[in-house]
Amino acid sequence: MSLQVDVRKLDLFNKMAKEGSETVADHLSQLAGIDAGIEVSKINFLDIEDVKTHLGSQKQVGIFVELVDPPHGYVLFLLEPRDSKQLVGQMVGGMGGDEPADGLFTDMERSAMQEIGNIMTSGYIDGWANVLDTTIDISTPSFAYGPASDIVDEMGGWPQEDIAFVVDSDIVAESTDVELTAYTFPRLRELVDLIQDIDLDTDVQTDTTASTDIVE
């Protein structure tokens, strides 16, 4: 299967990264009153074995979902433990009561982070779906805490491809020092197929209503 893309469509890769990240920033502003913006949004083509090196080994909070429709793959949000607690506090208030099951996060905090991840991921993928002129359903969010490279192992289901297409977006809320990074790992061949099918003469942002229903 060819991975060649019409050169006129190459900008769609950047457009997807920008739209998804802007939607997350908007949701943070609306839900928590956090003035968030995109600091960096870039695209990487990495060898599969280099993905873990790219993410690093520092302990972080990860919220991830699986894309159950083309282009399939995963969306992963990573943030520092301190930032995740601050984000939960900003959105839903104090989460005291039970003891942290892992010495750091209570069950209520984990649940709150999963719900926050659900809201952010739905918006992120909605931006992608608008650009790709399609609908993309997602799984329920999963919470993980540990070295970022190990969280990738928890996601599983990696495609049998030599190259990983990674969209890497840093979203920063300067007023609260909250910073999160959104990583998207679509199946490259399926993504290329979707882009090849796009009619450049159609304004997909205007004509498309995307769906990001949660699949239980």
Angstrom distance (rounded) from CA 210 to CA 122: 10
- Residue from 86, 88, 144, 138 nearest 113 by CA: 88
pLDDT in tens, 97-134: 555 545 578 888 888 888 888 888 887 888 888 888 88
187 within some domain: yes
pLDDT in tens, 146-157: 998 888 888 876
pLDDT at 14 over 80: no
What number is the average pLDDT over the span 47-68? 87
Angstrom distance (rounded) from CA 136 to CA 187: 13
130: domain range?
Answer: 7-199
25 within some domain: yes
What number is the average pLDDT over the span 199-215? 48
Q: Is 102 exposed, middle or buried (0-12, 13-18, 19+ CB in 10 A)?
A: exposed
Give CA separation, 212 vs 1, 48, 140, in Å.
Answer: 28, 27, 11
Task: Evaluate whether 157 touches 127 at the Cβ level (below 8 Å).
Answer: no
113 within some domain: yes
210 within some domain: no
% of the chain exceeding 70 in pLDDT:
70
For residue 204, give the 3-state DSSP assignment.
helix
pLDDT in tens, 136-191: 999 998 989 999 888 888 887 666 666 777 777 777 766 666 777 888 888 888 88
205 within some domain: no
215 within some domain: no
pLDDT in tens, 85-100: 887 877 666 545 555 5
2 within some domain: no
Looking at residue 62, what is its pLDDT? 92
The CATH number assigned to the domain holding 21 equals 3.40.1550.10
> Where does the pLDDT of residue 2 fall: very low under 50, low under 70, confident under 90, or very high at 90 and above?
low
% of the chain exceeding 90 in pLDDT:
9
Q: Tell how strand 142-147 and strand 59-67 pair up.
A: antiparallel
**Cβ atoms within 10 Å, residue 172:** 20
How remote is the C-alpha of 37 from its chain's centroid? 15
DSSP state of 69: S
Amino acid code (one letter) for 170: D
Angstrom distance (rounded) from CA 63 to CA 117: 6
Q: What is the phi-psi region of residue 196: left when phi exceeds 0, alpha when psi lies from -120 to 50, beta otherwise?
A: alpha
pLDDT at 50 over 60: yes
Domain count, the chain: 1
Unique residue bearing structure tokens 């607690």: 85
Looking at residue 214, what is its pLDDT? 42
For the whole model, what pTM was predicted?
Answer: 0.76
